[in-house]
A and B are shown apart, each in its own frame.
Chain A
Amino acid sequence: MKTFRIGGVHPHENKLSAGQKIQNVPLPKQAVVLLAQHLGAPATPVVEKGTEVKVGQLIATASGFISANVHSPVSGKVAKIDTIVDGWGLKTPAVFIDVEGDEWLDTIDRSDKLNTICKLEPAEIVKKVGEAGIVGLGGACFPTHVKLAPPPGKKAEVLVVNAVECEPYLTCDHQLMMEHGEEIMVGVSIIMRAIGVTKAIIGIENNKPDAIKYMTELASKVMGVEVLPLKLKYPQGGEKQLIDACIHRQVPSGALPIEVGAVVQNVATVYAVYEAVQKNKPLIERVVTVTGKFVAKPGNFRVRFGTPLNDILAMAGGIPENTGKIIAGGPMMGRAMSNTDMPANKRISGLLLMPQEESKRKEPQNCIRCAKCVSVCPMGLEPYMLAKQAGLGLWDEMEAIHVMDCIECGCCLFTCPSNRPLLDYIRMGKNKVGGIIRARNMKK
């Protein structure tokens, strides 16, 4: 069975919410829709206080090449446009909408009927995806229409669909495949058409045998689509790692996947593309996993953006008494939040509630130079050395040993027997080195 070639670790899977049917979270009284739900510049609002909006109506447009449209996830009246403090204590602009009923735009097809026929030209598909405000739902939130339009001179050869879900605990992609596999297959063929390839590989880790079986069955009816079971190893869902595992090619340092002819899309993104292209439905909701060892009802929830996270947590039985940490995303790369008052958005794929006893790191000891960080690094870097150099402020040296290749997967810190905060140092150094490189490029 295939997997990526360098490094990797095996964290406990803890897929507590596996197999839980997707439940809908009720609409909130007021939806707070963030304008920066994607990588790049925040969207520019096109509504103002008092504007009546319907579900699916454009409320903010992409401002710049790397940005994404934002649509209203609810119907009602815009109360105000203001800033809120998000779960990380940062101010971010948002549109507040007082919810009235649930009235959708007429152009959106709300039926469950599977629509398999797509006769659009590639450029039209990309345009539609861009208009629908779709971003990569795996975590990075990179605008999808940018990814579907390869730079001039580059040719895509294969579509790689990321259905790995290598983060422990999270199950939203798994459940989405089990419930909407057919739609995902149509989405795959639409994207293949958009980027002009005849081959697609859906990578699924072997801890989801039911999804592998179901998707293989569906793929057998679609030309050129193959389901590839992958050996369980973290971080297989990393873009470069997944390409290596699926087509045995390594994206060079600093390059994009298109360099080796690959385009990677997350399986949830593929589903969103299906809905946008075939049903005219913009990206206004997603599936979120709420999980944790002490959560009463861990599960998978379909939630409109703008719904307070507390509403989703309530669906799972509320926040347990002994919760010490709430993480947006998985335990390996997710971000710990200081509060849960912020609304759901395109970025949040899961809420993981960790008990207090698992929330604190152990005290770091001296580095014993065991080289375990070196052997698990999936990018073939030397975390111990980078961390040391970052502590000493040796930015040039860090650049020379390729700190910018680091994907911040956390394998080094996960594995370190001395509990050293390797990734914290490396991240700090990476920020510094990135700033220096940008300044240098500006001067040129």
Chain B
Amino acid sequence: MNKLIVAPAPHVHSGDSVRKNMLNVIIALIPAYLVSLYFFGLGAFIVSATAVVSCVVFEYLIQRFICKQKSSIGDLSAVLTGMLLGFNLPSNLPVWMVVVGALVAIGVAKMSFGGLGNNLFNPALVGRVFLLISFPAPMTTWPTPSPMTMNYLDAQTAATPLSLMKEKGTEALPALWDMFIGNMGGSLGEVSALALLIGGIYLIATKTITWHIPVSVLLTAFVFSGILWLVDGTVYANPMVHLLTGGLMLGAIFMATDYVTSPMSPLGQLVYGVGIGIITIVIRVFGSYPEGMSFAILIMNAATPLINMYIHPKRFGENKK
């Protein structure tokens, strides 16, 4: 007989893996990706494909030549970072800028902290914010949606609902239905609330994420902007506009729920979500940038270790009934 293996219990495993979870998120992004391919055409494809390929290549190269460790690109986390980075960029951004964004996302935000699991900030958002601060003009001119267009750098541009609101007040906004399905200007993956919600439902149904973060972010943003709207409806936008525009939906469902940079306990996740919701609306309404989702998430990322330290899950038998 063979030598018996002696190991401590448990002797079975659920079969879950990092790769499966990453793959689930990638699958959940597909509806939103199809919508962006439809509205932004070739540009959407070029930008997102560049982001994915450069993220994977950078991770491979850094692990191979700098960290000298086994490659972990098989866990698909770099693919996901690339997709999310692409989703957060305008579809007419030049390729070289996308590559720079990917280098910052993977090289600075992820690998310099020690790779997957050790990063403090969401890599895709660090990449995006780096680009936003470095190249403010190309990062804030968004192409108008024109179905199946083959234009890329020369795409026609227009203001997004959020910047319209900043400049001209609430009258100039597109119809709510257009905003819901994604027929408006914006970063390539963030426009269609409908497609993002379908992805979100898939993630919750497959238990890849829990409801706590998306629901608390969206609800907080809705309630807070709703209060402002009730105070003065002529100055402040309808809360539905806030929910459907900008990166709120994409951020709440896909960016804020990033495993590594969000809190561990359910209550902690709610606190984190409320924080993101409030900061986003504050930046949108009172700040100088039209959109505040990326900053809100990064700020709450920084607060995550603190939340984990002070908020613990409810223990068994803690309050006896």
Query: Which one of B9, B77, B312, B316 contacts A401 once the chains associate, using CB atoms below 8 Å?
Result: B312
- Which are the 3 A-B pairs with shortest beta-carbon distances? A410-B10, A366-B117, A380-B315
In this assembly, does A68 line the interface, its C-beta being within 8 Å of a C-beta of chain B? no
Contacts of A369 in B (CB 8 A): 117, 259-262, 264
Complex Cα distance A337/B4, Å? 8
Instruction: Report 19 cross-chain contacts, Cβ distance below 8 Å, ordered by A residue.
Output: A6-B314, A11-B12, A249-B321, A250-B321, A323-B1, A325-B11, A331-B10, A333-B10, A335-B9, A336-B4, A337-B4, A337-B6, A356-B2, A358-B11, A365-B75, A405-B315, A408-B9, A418-B117, A424-B8
The stretch among B17-25, B136-144, B192-200 that forms the contact with chain A is B17-25
CB pair B317–A361 under 8 Å, yes or no, is no
Interface residue? A94 (CB, 8 A)? no
Q: Are B12 and A12 in contact (CB under 8 A)?
A: yes
A252-B320, A260-B320, A359-B11 are known contacts; what are 19 more A-B pairs with Cβ within 8 Å?
A: A88-B6, A168-B12, A249-B321, A253-B317, A325-B5, A325-B6, A326-B4, A331-B9, A331-B12, A334-B9, A336-B4, A336-B7, A366-B118, A368-B260, A369-B260, A374-B313, A416-B16, A417-B21, A418-B117
CA distance A358 to B12 in the complex (A): 8
Kindly provide the distance from the CB of B120 to the nearest chain A CB, expressed in whole angstroms. Answer: 11
Choose among A377, A385, A427 the residue that contacts B8 (Cβ–Cβ < 8 A). Answer: A427
A355-374 contacts to B, CB under 8 A, are: 356, 358-362, 365-372, 374
Residue in B12, B114, B318, B320 whose beta carbon sits within 8 Å of that of A332 in the complex: B12
Q: Which of B8, B18, B315 contacts A253 (CB 8 A)?
A: B315
Closest to B11 in A: A331
The answer to whether A368 and B12 have CB atoms under 8 Å apart is: no
Q: In chain B, what residue has the closest Cβ to A401?
A: B312
Question: Is residue A381 within 8 Å, beta carbon to beta carbon, of the partner chain?
Answer: yes
Which B residues from 126 to 167 make CB contacts under 8 A with A?
A: none
Which residues of the partner chain A approach B262 to less than 8 Å between Cβ atoms?
369
Expressed in whole angstroms, the Cα–Cα distance for A366 and B8 within the complex equals 20
Partner of B264, one of A11, A322, A337, A382: A382
B115 within 8 A of A: yes
Q: Does A379 contact B (CB under 8 A)?
A: yes
Contact A324 B2 (CB under 8 A): yes
Contact with A along B291-321 (1 / 0, CB 8 A): 0000000000000000010001111111011
The interface bits of chain B over 217-249 (1 if a CB of A lies within 8 angstroms of the residue's CB, else 0) are 000000000000000000000000000000000
Contact-residue bracket for chain B? 35 or more
Specify which chain B residues have a CB less than 8 angstroms from the CB of A251 in the assembled complex.
317
Q: Mark B249-262, 1 if CB is under 8 A from A, else 0.
A: 00000000001111
Nearest chain-B residue to A88 (Cβ)?
A: B6
Interface residues of B in 198-224 (CB under 8 A from A): 210
- Across the interface, which residues of B come within 8 angstroms of A335, CB to CB? 8-9
Q: A385 — which chain B residues lie within 8 A by C-beta?
A: 264, 308
Measured in the bound complex, the distance between the Cα atoms of B1 and A416 in whole Å is: 32
Contact of A336 among B6, B20, B269 (CB under 8 A): B6
Shortest C-beta distance, B273 to chain A (Å), equals 14
Min C-beta distance of A357 to chain B, whole Å = 11
Cβ of A78 under 8 Å from chain B: no
* B265: A residues at CB distance < 8 A: 371, 374, 382
Instruction: Say whether A417 contacts B17, CB under 8 Å.
Output: yes
Which residues of chain B come closer than 8 Å to A381, judged between CB atoms?
313, 315
Shortest CB distance A348–B (Å): 14
* Residue of B21, B116, B308, B315 contacting most chain A CB atoms (<10 Å): B315
Q: Is B71 an interface residue (CB 8 A)?
A: no
CB contacts (< 8 Å) of A368 on chain B: these are: 18, 21, 77, 116-117, 259-260
Residues of A within 8 A of B6 (CB): 88, 325, 336-338
With A338-B6, A365-B18, A368-B117 as contacts: A354 and B317 at CB distance below 8 Å: no
Is B288's beta carbon under 8 Å from chain A? no
B264 touches A361 (CB 8 A): no
Contact A372 B16 (CB under 8 A): yes
Tell me the complex Cα distance, A68–B56, Å: 62
Does B316 lie within 8 Å of A379, measured CB to CB?
yes
Map CB proximity to B onto A416-444 as digits: 1 under 8 Å, 0 otherwise: 11110001100100000000000000000
| Least Cβ–Cβ distance between A379 and chain B, in angstroms | 4
Chain B contacts for A329, CB-based, 8 A: 9
Report the separation of the CA atoms of residues A333 and B12 in the bound assembly, to the nearest whole angstrom: 10
Given contacts A326-B4, A417-B20, contact A6 B13 (CB under 8 A): no
CA distance A321 to B260 in the complex (A): 43
B112 at the interface (CB under 8 A from A): no
Q: Which residues of chain B are within 8 angstroms of A260 by Cβ–Cβ distance?
A: 320
Q: Could you tell me which residues of chain A, from 374 to 416, have a CB within 8 Å of some CB in chain B?
A: 374-375, 377-382, 384-385, 401-402, 405, 408, 410, 413-416
Q: Are A382 and B313 in contact (CB under 8 A)?
A: yes
Whether B18 lies near A378 (C-beta < 8 A) is no
Interface presence of A319 (CB below 8 A) = yes
Are A367 and B2 also in contact (CB < 8 A) when A332-B9, A333-B9 are?
A: no
B313 touches A327 (CB 8 A): no
Complex formed: what's the CA distance from A331 to B263 in Å? 31
Taking the closest CB of chain A, its distance from the CB of B28, in whole angstroms, is 15
Please name the residue on chain A nearest to B313 by beta carbon.
A380
Tell whether A359 pairs with B313 under 8 Å between CB atoms, given A11-B14, A331-B11, A375-B210.
no
Judge whether B317 and A359 touch: CB under 8 Å. Answer: no
A126-157 interface with B by 8 A CB criterion:
none
User: CA of A333 to CA of B72 in the docked complex: distance in angstroms?
Assistant: 32
Closest Cβ neighbor of B72 among chain A residues? A365
Q: Which residue of A lies closest to B13 (CB)?
A: A414
